[in-house]
């Protein structure tokens, strides 16, 4: 992400434009001046660079993100209204981010069907319209009603376009050691209690004789029946049952 040259562009020599120069160029762009358009694009490439820095932890090629960001920049230029008295960067940044996020969703390693993505984009559009209309964020039920779709379909579609999060993505950093997503995810299979129980079981197994260890291994670790164990050891099923109960009883005393 700290490359000096991206897509053949030397980022160290990119120009910057003053607000007055941007306004002047924009008026010429609206009149169809292609030279002004080219200068305006070149003068705002630093804006694209600053945006793609936000996606540096995705493992994506910076050149690809830069090109996609430039598409967002051009779309922002085509749709910007100078009469709104808003700085171009304020309008362009969300457009560039949106274009990059759309690219990441469409090129995600988790493949999502086109129909599902289309439903998701319709749901996002309906969400924006309802937010503007009602002055608050709509519920899933309201979005589903707007699209005349089952609620479950809308939920599935929106979930399908969520960006996957790396377990190593930092969620907090106070200047010392960062806290990552993986630090916030609980693991029910590898808790301290289970770890201690496993140690206790191993210690208790050491107290048994070899035959008792063999029977418990076949019964509880390899899933054999008492009849199968009896056949393998050359003893009766009653003996296996008795030895098994005895071994378990000995282990309970040691745990």
Over 70: is that where the pLDDT of 1 sits? no
Look over the chain and give the mean of its residue pLDDT values, rounded to a whole number. Answer: 80
| 254 — pLDDT class (breaks 50, 70, 90) | confident
pTM of the model: 0.44
Task: Answer yes or no: is 129 within a domain.
Answer: yes
Over 80: is that where the pLDDT of 4 sits? no
Identify whether residues 138 and 203 lie together within a single domain.
no
Task: Answer yes or no: is 165 within a domain.
Answer: no
Identify whether residues 138 and 88 lie together within a single domain.
no
Provide the pLDDT for residue 180: 64
Q: Which residue has the higher pLDDT, 144 or 26?
A: 144
| 185 — pLDDT class (breaks 50, 70, 90) | low
Identify whether residues 121 and 97 lie together within a single domain.
no
Provide the pLDDT for residue 6: 76
Identify whether residues 36 and 94 lie together within a single domain.
yes
| 171 — pLDDT class (breaks 50, 70, 90) | low
Task: Answer yes or no: is 183 within a domain.
Answer: no
Provide the pLDDT for residue 195: 61
The proportion of the chain whose per-residue pLDDT surpasses 70, expressed as a percent, equals: 81
Mean pLDDT score, 240-248: 89
Provide the pLDDT for residue 189: 56
Over 60: is that where the pLDDT of 176 sits? no
Provide the pLDDT for residue 192: 53
SS3 labels along the chain: CCCCEECCEEHHHCCCCCHHHHHHHHHHHHCCCHHHHHHHHHCCHHHHHHHHHHHHHHCCCHHHHHHHHHHHHHHHHHHCCHHHCCCHHHHHHHHHHHHHHHHHHHCCCCCCCHHHHHHHHHHHHHHHHHHHHHCCCCCHHHHHHHHCCCHHHHHHHHHHCCCCCCCCCEEECCCCCCEEHHHHCCCCCCCHHHHHHHHHHHHHHHCCCHHHHHHHHHHHHCCCCHHHHHHHHCCCHHHHHHHHHHHHHHHHHHC
pLDDT tens for 72-85 read 999 988 888 877 77
Identify whether residues 247 and 225 lie together within a single domain.
yes
Identify whether residues 143 and 125 lie together within a single domain.
yes
Task: Answer yes or no: is 45 within a domain.
Answer: yes
Mean pLDDT score, 186-206: 67
Over 60: is that where the pLDDT of 147 sits? yes
The proportion of the chain whose per-residue pLDDT surpasses 90, expressed as a percent, equals: 5
| 145 — pLDDT class (breaks 50, 70, 90) | very high
Residue 26: which CATH number?
1.20.120.1810
For 133, the domain range is: 114-160
Identify whether residues 67 and 95 lie together within a single domain.
yes
Q: Which residue has the higher pLDDT, 174 or 83?
A: 83
- For the chain, how many structural domains are there in total? 3
Identify whether residues 44 and 132 lie together within a single domain.
no
| 187 — pLDDT class (breaks 50, 70, 90) | low
Residue 133: which CATH number?
1.10.10.10
Identify whether residues 202 and 219 lie together within a single domain.
yes
pLDDT tens for 37-92 read 899 888 888 888 888 888 877 677 888 888 998 999 999 888 888 777 778 888 88
Task: Answer yes or no: is 174 within a domain.
Answer: no
């Amino acid at each position: 992400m700290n490359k000096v040259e991206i897509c053949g562009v030397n980022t160290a020599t990119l120009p910057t434009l003053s607000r007055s120069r941007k306004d002047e160029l924009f008026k010429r762009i609206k009149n169809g001046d292609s030279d002004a358009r080219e200068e305006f694009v070149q003068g705002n490439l630093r804006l694209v660079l600053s945006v793609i820095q936000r996606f540096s932890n995705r493992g994506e090629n910076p050149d690809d993100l830069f090109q996609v960001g430039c598409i967002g920049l051009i779309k922002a230029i085509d749709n910007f209204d100078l009469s709104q008295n808003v700085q171009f960067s304020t309008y362009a940044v969300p457009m560039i981010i949106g274009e990059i996020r759309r690219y990441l969703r469409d090129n995600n390693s988790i493949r999502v069907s086109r129909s599902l993505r289309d439903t998701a984009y319709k749901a996002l559009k309906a969400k924006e319209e309802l937010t503007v209309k009602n002055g608050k964020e709509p519920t899933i039920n309201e979005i589903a009603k707007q699209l005349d779709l089952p609620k479950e379909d809308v939920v599935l579609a929106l979930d399908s376009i969520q960006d996957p999060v790396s377990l190593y993505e930092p969620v907090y950093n106070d200047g010392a050691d960062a806290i990552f997503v993986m630090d916030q995810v609980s693991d029910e299979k590898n808790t301290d209690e289970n770890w201690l129980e496993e140690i206790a079981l191993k210690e208790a197994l050491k107290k048994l004789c070899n035959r008792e260890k063999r029977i418990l291994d076949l019964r509880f670790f390899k899933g054999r029946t008492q009849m199968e164990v009896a056949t393998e050891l050359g003893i009766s099923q009653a003996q296996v049952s008795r030895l098994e109960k005895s071994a378990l009883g000995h282990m309970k005393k040691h745990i």
